[in-house]
Amino acid sequence: MTDSSDTSSEAERRRLIRAEWRAAIDPFDRQALEANSNALALGVTGLRALFVLNGGALVVLPVYLSLLGTDLDAAFLATAMAAASFLAGLVLAGLATLFAYFTETQKGRLAFHGRQALANALSDPAESDAADSGAEKFKAAAARGATVMKRLRLCAIGFAIFSLACFAGGAYFAAIAVMTGPGQDDETSVSKIDVNL
């Protein structure tokens, strides 16, 4: 009879500790989730901006050069380099998005396995040795997962930075195209464009 009362008092003690721990940890969990969702929203906005910058510049490039009266034959190399830079920026923005997705997938997987390991450890106090062994395995797997997640995140950030650099390079080559290929026709120059609304 003493063993069952000891077991029930131990279970009650664990339940109280879990409830107290949950009450203390909940504000931090909410703050971490809010910060994470804000960071994700900012990241998505940044990735969209990379797509709009590079894609928009690629689409507008021929119109811009024609509007300024640039002779496209004379400025072919600079125009091609600008277009290639913008296209590379689009590809890199896509890779940044893909690696950001893999980072979030890895983070979700780690959180799921962490919660499962914690639930297993707290569910049966009689199997504390097995729970300790499972916790050690989880810690090792979590360390490997965190390393993978860090590498994926760094790749995503690197691709995003290179995408932005491609936009800057494309803008530079577009400016060179404008300077090296001025049109011969005065009627299409910027000062002669007639805008009638």
CA-CA-CA-CA torsion sign (83, 89, 93, 95): positive
Does residue 22 lie within any of the structural domains? no
If you average pLDDT over every residue of the chain, what do you get? 79
Tokens of 13: 């003690």
- In the chain, how long is the greatest CA-to-CA distance? 105
8 Å CB contact between 174 and 65? yes
Cβ neighbour number for residue 75 with a 10 Å cutoff? 23
Q: How far apart are CA 160 and CA 153, in angstroms?
A: 11
Highest mean pLDDT pick, 15-24, 102-111, 123-132, 152-161: 152-161
Structure-block tokens of residue 182? 């001025």
Phi and psi at 65, nearest 5°, equal -65, -35
37 within domain boundaries: no
**Is pLDDT of 193 > 70?**
no
Q: Is residue 94 part of a domain?
A: yes
- Closest by alpha carbon to 10, among 99, 152, 126, 115? 126
Q: Within a domain: residue 20?
A: no
Does residue 196 register a pLDDT over 50? no
Number of domains in the chain: 1
Q: What does the pLDDT read at residue 197?
A: 43
Residue 125, domain member (yes or no): yes
Q: Over the stretch 14-55, which tens digit does the pLDDT of each residue have?
A: 888 888 877 777 787 788 778 878 888 888 898 999 999 999
The whole-model pTM stands at 0.70
CB atoms within 10 A of CB 158: 14
Q: Which domain holds residue 134?
A: 44-182
Best-predicted range by mean pLDDT among 63-77, 79-93, 107-121, 129-143?
Answer: 79-93
Flag whether 139 is in a domain. Answer: yes
Burial of 99 (0-12, 13-18, 19+ CB in 10 A): buried
Which tens digit of pLDDT belongs to each residue from 118-137?
Answer: 766 666 655 555 556 666 77
